[in-house]
Amino acid sequence: MISLEDVLAARERIRGNVAVTPCPQADWFSEMCGAQIYFKLENLQRTGSFKERGAANKLAQLSAQERARGVVAASAGNHAQGVAYNAQRLGMKSTIVMPETTPLVKVLATKKFGAQVVLHGLSYDDAYTKARALESEHGYVFIHAFDDDAIIAGQGTCALEILEQVPDLDMLVASIGGGGWLGGMAVAIKALKPSVRVVGVESSLIPKMRAALDAGGPVVLPAATTLADGIAVKRAGERTLPLFRKYVDEIVGVDDEEVANAILLLLEREKTVAEGAGAAPAAALLQRKISGLTPRTKVVCAISGGNIDVNIIARIIERGLVKEGRRVMLSLRVADRPGMLAAVLATVAAEKGNVLEVHHNRAFVKGAIGDTEIELTLETKGPEHIESLTAALVAKGYAVVRR
């Protein structure tokens, strides 16, 4: 089990090679969550996540002989970039095995740092098995994503910055993958300020750390596809689990809808881009999953990474607009004769609705041959606007169904 001294040594080892990220107060989130919320913005690291810290610490300690062999790692994306960047910086060869489901942005970024990328399997654990096989086959040095003391100590350096930036904090909230990130930070936090409450957040679809604590040891959970792909690990670490037993006070879970909502609000309200795993702690705070918060409680919410595919952002924005009543699809049954569409659109225009899409369905309409179905996708101003627009259409005699 690592100690504070290991984390302090790691900070000196990586100093100058890893950015000290900001930790500003988030006024809007503070108001929404009923506490004083600060964001530790690890998404602003060079590689877009905290993983750079552990990789820099681990690779700095390799011997000349180990560096000559090259390194191999398994990752869903962020550890991959951390290892690839630091290997490139030190003039080492790196091979990274990533799940086939890894977002393209993470694959391309890893290649940009000079790594040979191998896509294998559907989960981190599949990639891990392949990476271990390559280790045996080629003699590479394997760099574990979380279950390694040097990696854990490197990740823990973030907590030293947090304590300097918000010295009177009451709570730290961070996501849980295999446990190296929060485990390392918890060691430093509890050693330097034991009163701080440490809360971990994992995906409710794959709660591997909660399962490990309940079972008394790491257990393998079924694979799950989640928006928080960076923490979709099926098994907690052997070296990280004891840290959670000793230093972590609480673990909560969030689902994908909650994470998506947090991503959208971080983007819209705080101008911060976060990936699923990075937004999970914010989701837990927004959904009031963590008890005991008061307006005086100072909470540091760690935004662990921002490597999210723009296509996913687009989908999240679209779903968020629907949820907030700023986009709606209405289906209307009308007589199939000239002028009916124009009349419908005139009513929509009178109610200040903006038409995004129009679709006519004649062939698949059940009922009278002379009827047609019009589907309208509209940009609206909120739930009340949708209600008034629907009422106006109904008043004109149209049968309206909201999709």
**63 flagged as catalytic:** no
Residue 283 and residue 234 share a domain: yes
**The domain containing residue 215 runs over which residues?**
4-45+149-319
Number of domains present in the structure of the chain: 3
Residue 170 and residue 128 share a domain: no
- Whole-angstrom Cα distance, residue 6 to residue 155? 11
| Residue 391, domain CATH | 3.30.70.260
- Ranked by mean pLDDT, the top range of 74-78, 162-166, 226-230, 332-336 is 162-166
Residue 196 and residue 295 share a domain: yes
Residue 77 and residue 25 share a domain: no
C-alpha distances (whole Å) from 24 to each of 29, 32, 38, 270, 271 are 12, 16, 5, 11, 12
Return the pLDDT at 324: 87
Give the range among 144-148, 158-162, 225-229, 252-256 with minimum mean pLDDT.
225-229
N-terminal to C-terminal alpha carbon distance within the chain: 54
Catalytic residue among 94, 123, 203, 304: 304
Residue 344 and residue 271 share a domain: no
pLDDT digits (tens, 9 = 90+) for 135-182: 999 999 999 999 999 999 999 999 999 999 999 999 999 999 999 999
Residue 350 and residue 272 share a domain: no
| Residue 131, domain CATH | 3.40.50.1100
Catalytic residue among 40, 51, 130, 289: 51
pLDDT band at 255 (very low <50, low <70, confident <90, very high): very high
Residue 315 and residue 208 share a domain: yes
Inform me whether the pLDDT recorded for 402 exceeds 80. Answer: yes
SS3 301: strand
Final residue before a domain boundary, out of 114, 142, 170: 142
C-alpha distances (whole Å) from 164 to each of 134, 158, 194, 271 are 41, 10, 15, 24
Residue 14 and residue 112 share a domain: no
Final residue before a domain boundary, out of 142, 177, 208: 142
Residue 55 and residue 41 share a domain: no
Final residue before a domain boundary, out of 319, 346, 365: 319
pLDDT digits (tens, 9 = 90+) for 337-372: 888 899 999 999 999 999 999 998 776 667 666 688
Return the pLDDT at 367: 64
Residue 191 and residue 155 share a domain: yes
**Mean pLDDT for the chain overall:** 94
Residue 56 and residue 91 share a domain: yes
Residue 331 and residue 297 share a domain: no
- Whole-angstrom Cα distance, residue 230 to residue 312? 14
Q: Which helix (H) or strand (E) holds 95?
A: strand 94-98
pLDDT band at 384 (very low <50, low <70, confident <90, very high): very high
Inform me whether the pLDDT recorded for 332 exceeds 70. Answer: yes
- Residue 212: what are its φ and ψ, rounded to 5°? -65, -40
Note whether 90 and 243 are within 8 A (CB): no
**304 flagged as catalytic:** yes
State mean pLDDT over 370-383.
90
Inform me whether the pLDDT recorded for 240 exceeds 80. Answer: yes
C-alpha distances (whole Å) from 159 to each of 11, 173, 190, 279, 364 are 10, 11, 10, 18, 60
pLDDT band at 267 (very low <50, low <70, confident <90, very high): very high
- Whole-angstrom Cα distance, residue 134 to residue 143? 12
- Whole-angstrom Cα distance, residue 283 to residue 204? 12
